[in-house]
A and B are shown apart, each in its own frame.
Chain A
């Protein structure tokens, strides 16, 4: 198996996508949007709806770095909120942070164990849920913590984490190109 030389993390972080890469990212974005707006509202497992958009966002962050992750998160969050009648800006805010940190994780951590997608989706779901929880509190909505943790956060954590690996494989195939994660794995 040929060994890809390790890319310096800084270079990978600053490398902006090419036009071909942008087209692939747009394709992945379209799929994420379609899944989240048409399939997710009709699928409920373990009492939670899968968050396809967030899972795909984390995978993109892992494969393309923090800045691409943040931009992808902003666009995905805005599109999904607009289509599902959610408050505009809330998902975008949470997704920018999740996308950025997923990318930073890939750029800085040792991902050789191969559980990075699951760990990242788990952490990303937790982070997004917490951010939205805080936002709801600030918007003076009811936030019964016990209910939220047992009936909302835990089911979505389990469901999203279980879906992480197949989605990561699919996104990696779709994006092909140089990968931040691969660079770290083969270092």
Chain B
């Protein structure tokens, strides 16, 4: 998909055009907005100040159990920093009063500019760790050396077959540091653990056959000696799964499928979904036509979170396959939903399906952030997911009861979520069945009001910070046959900007009430993750390449810098050996952001990590150190792609 030959620069026009998890092959983005639809007025609302006295459940106060073992307040050892998935940093040196003086401290380039950079750098102690998109090279960078010096490089050499099996760019969403190991997935369906001190491979486990269309792009969650990994391939007719590996050896301990009989889904006596339509035996088979579940997707390519008190894990399942829903009448459980499972044995505790019989590619894989919020005046243990389908779900994470489900952006496919059954009330005009006809202006488009790009939650403000997309689609289903290793897709589609004129925005959202608090409109989709700090500063990036800092309480933009490429990664904050706070983010557009590649102002691809600090901390003249050639970016080696 991207020319890698001698003249790769001439592979113009061959950018991977696909929606996140969307085989978007044919996407033509129309720029004009269509002025119809329901909730647009809300979206267009101007910035309003945060309500005073917002409840402030303290994630930080939960203590070390919610952080990877050994993490200090200046460390960032997993993509979301904590098991709850908040992406909240307790560092306070950078705050609303001084963030305007942020300056570039140093940069690093991993040389893999062909593919999107969706990861978050990790830091433990004096070392930063990054994993590139395919070919998934890992780097350790010594932060005690000026400008950051490469400590080691690890080249896993995954199979290039994987490039052509990944629906939505050959991306990687990050690694996890655990017990002296850097653990991450390779696009060709291996999980690998590398000695964090030396860069030597400790173990490597094969999880699936890439030839059959399975790839792996998600970041593992590692806790209590187990590594949780899942597959990608929702457009390739896979059946989704989450597997647990032994963190010490890589040995697979169990695997829980998203479809199939209860034995495969790991549903047993402990399974207790809140709603009756999800109760019964083998619903992962019975809610499908005969054998259709075998290629029904429910891939697990998003985020996994963990509650150390209940010792349950939470993760979502991808779109239903194929997209053409006419080929799979039924509720199609357990795709497009969320599971709560025992972290230990993987047995399901409850499940909820956001989009039953998903006709629009609304994956359920977005992060499930585990926080405690006041609902109707009572503190509740909840998980919050900003779903692709445009609704923000606040769910009791102990029972699976949907407490709040409100739109957080423009959608018109459903008029709401039934409070009794928690099923969406689908707009009849937006059904894509029967196929073979164009259904116009379905909002959101396949890539959703929000895709995988993760939100941040501040226990200080009690608010979520959410990247928002305002894109709709015209859609025509078509019959498709399953052929292993090829897309099992079945749809024509074209996307256009939704009402209001802004393809994206960045918002603050009160998940206890289901209300937007403030909004920053942007000229492109906002496809980056978010970071919020104890300095009440929230960071995000735009596809155009703007990296912004805003006041977490008011949404006032306090600082912006244009980076070399579009930002689809999630920023992070760490304390360097010099004792100061640094903010890091990767700029390398790709993934679902390529759906806007034809828009004026769309940047070139890139592969650079930018690290910022307050101006007073950045030395004007770097000190002379070491022998010549000791530092700097690594050389790209030829040969294998």
Decide whether A and B assemble into one complex: no
